[in-house]
């Protein structure tokens, strides 16, 4: 089904990114991940295999039912996060004495090396450079995926891994759902580290040129 929700949530001085998605029938789970400064601090995965079978046998709209469950799980996690009741892994076993904050928050820095030449005749070529934010070193064997998001639905395009220099090229035809109001998302993960580029797709006479809105 490939539904998804993304929210930024500020609690006191901390800023969290909450991501909930359904990866489709090959992985029938509703996954919620909470990130803080590029690190995973909470995960929740709920299987819907039995629910999907029961819904199909009753002749109900599975897509609608999953969308409602996904929304409920996403907002439940946000409510617990804001209430301070979520068991955040990175907060466990924290020493009582004050600890110095790192100068640079860790995570993955996702860079598009060809921002002016990524689209040609409806075909997308994304030349990605991936660096660790803390030390600017290349990240090898990280997973990098691209998808188009529009009206809370995602069209997955391609996924690959970075080479020894932290580089990877993703090639795919631009999905038909792309256009004004859609976003092209390039997302990278390496263990608990996370990074993302998100672009609004704005049609122009010579083809859409991405305008970055967040990292």
Structural domains in the chain, sorted by start: 4-91 (no CATH), 108-214 (2.60.40.1120)
Average pLDDT over residues 184-196: 86
Handedness of CA 202, 168, 166, 40 (dihedral sign): positive
Average pLDDT over residues 50-63: 73
The pLDDT of residue 95 is: 44
Work out the angle between the directed axes of helices 62-83 and 49-57 (0-180°, nearest 10).
140
Comparing 2 with 165, the larger pLDDT belongs to 165
Res 210 pLDDT > 60 = no
% of the chain at pLDDT higher than 70: 81
Average pLDDT over residues 18-46: 87
Rounded to whole angstroms, the Cα distance separating 141 from 143 reads: 6
Rounded to whole angstroms, the Cα distance separating 150 from 120 reads: 21
Would strands 183-190 and 143-150 be described as parallel, antiparallel, or unpaired? antiparallel
Reported as a pLDDT band with limits 50, 70 and 90, residue 99 is very low
pTM over cut 0.95: no
The pLDDT of residue 100 is: 46
Comparing 185 with 105, the larger pLDDT belongs to 185
Handedness of CA 95, 93, 139, 208 (dihedral sign): negative
Average pLDDT over residues 42-55: 84
- Say which range, 9-13, 53-57, 144-148, has the weakest mean pLDDT: 53-57
Res 42 pLDDT > 60 = yes
Of 194, 189, 185, nearest to 143 (Cα)?
189
Place of tokens 């039995």: 50
- Say which range, 24-28, 38-42, 165-169, has the weakest mean pLDDT: 24-28
Contact assessment for residue 153 and residue 3, using Cβ atoms and an 8 Å cutoff = yes
Reported as a pLDDT band with limits 50, 70 and 90, residue 54 is confident
Res 213 pLDDT > 60 = no
Tokens linked to 48: 């819907």
Average pLDDT over residues 47-53: 81
Reported as a pLDDT band with limits 50, 70 and 90, residue 17 is very high
Of 186, 209, 198, nearest to 129 (Cα)?
186
């Amino acid at each position: 089904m490939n539904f998804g929700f993304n929210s930024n949530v500020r609690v006191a001085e901390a800023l969290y990114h909450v991501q909930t998605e359904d990866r489709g029938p090959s992985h029938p789970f509703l996954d919620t991940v909470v990130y803080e400064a590029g690190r995973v601090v909470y995960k929740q995965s709920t299987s819907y295999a039995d629910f999907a079978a029961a819904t199909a046998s009753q002749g109900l709209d599975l897509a609608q039912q999953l969308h409602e469950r996904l929304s409920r799980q996403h907002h439940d996690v946000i409510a617990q996060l804001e209430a301070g009741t979520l068991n955040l892994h990175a907060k466990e076993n924290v020493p009582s004495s004050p600890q110095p904050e790192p100068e640079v928050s860790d995570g993955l820095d996702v860079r598009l090396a060809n921002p002016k030449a990524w689209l040609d005749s409806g075909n997308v070529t994304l030349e990605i450079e991936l660096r660790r934010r803390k030390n600017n070193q290349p990240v090898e064997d990280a997973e990098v995926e691209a998808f188009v998001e529009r009206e809370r639905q995602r069209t997955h395009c391609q996924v690959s891994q970075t080479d020894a220099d932290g580089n990877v090229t993703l090639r795919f035809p631009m999905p038909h759902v792309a256009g004004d109001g859609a976003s092209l998302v390039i997302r990278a993960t390496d263990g608990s580290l996370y990074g993302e580029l998100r672009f609004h797709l704005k049609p122009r006479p010579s083809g859409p040129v991405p305008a970055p809105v967040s990292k």
